[in-house]
Amino acid sequence: MNSKQLGVLGEKIALKYLKNKGYQILGKNYLPKFISGPQKGEIDIIARKKGIISFVEVKALAESGRNVFSPEDKVNFSKQKKIIKMAEFWLTEKKIPLESKWQIDVIAIRVQPDFKKAKINFFENIGF
């Protein structure tokens, strides 16, 4: 399984996880059409629960004995800034005030080598 396929699998697992936790899915793979270059970014999942909009970054990693980092380690400061910018674009596009309740969440998934099991860690409101 290549990294793109692993990412697709991770997003499917994350969508199911969020739905089971009572989230309403508002969108997925959001990419503003008018941005290009280094500013470009994507929001994996946009969901809502209890009036709070969550912009969810999904990171999946195939488990192996060589893994030094966790999937969530890939959501560094620079990545968080891009997600925030994309979230603001989405809110503006949907005519939702930026002062509304929203947050950045991360779902980190470690997929077992046989791809039959996955361990999910959900980090809510990881903002600065």
Q: What is the pTM of this model?
A: 0.89
- Find the helix or strand (DSSP H, E) in which 121 lies: strand 118-123
CATH of 3-123, picked from 3.40.50.970, 2.60.120.10, 3.40.1350.10, 3.10.310.50, is 3.40.1350.10
Residue 119 pLDDT? 92
The CB-based long-range contact list for 81-85 (8 Å cut-off, 24+ gap) reads: 82/39, 82/41, 83/41, 83/43, 83/55, 83/57, 84/127, 85/39, 85/41
pLDDT tens column, 57-106: 999 988 876 666 677 877 888 888 889 989 999 999 999 998 999 999 99
pLDDT tens column, 19-60: 999 999 999 999 887 655 555 678 999 999 999 999 999 999
How is the chain split into domains, by residue range? 3-123
DSSP 78: H
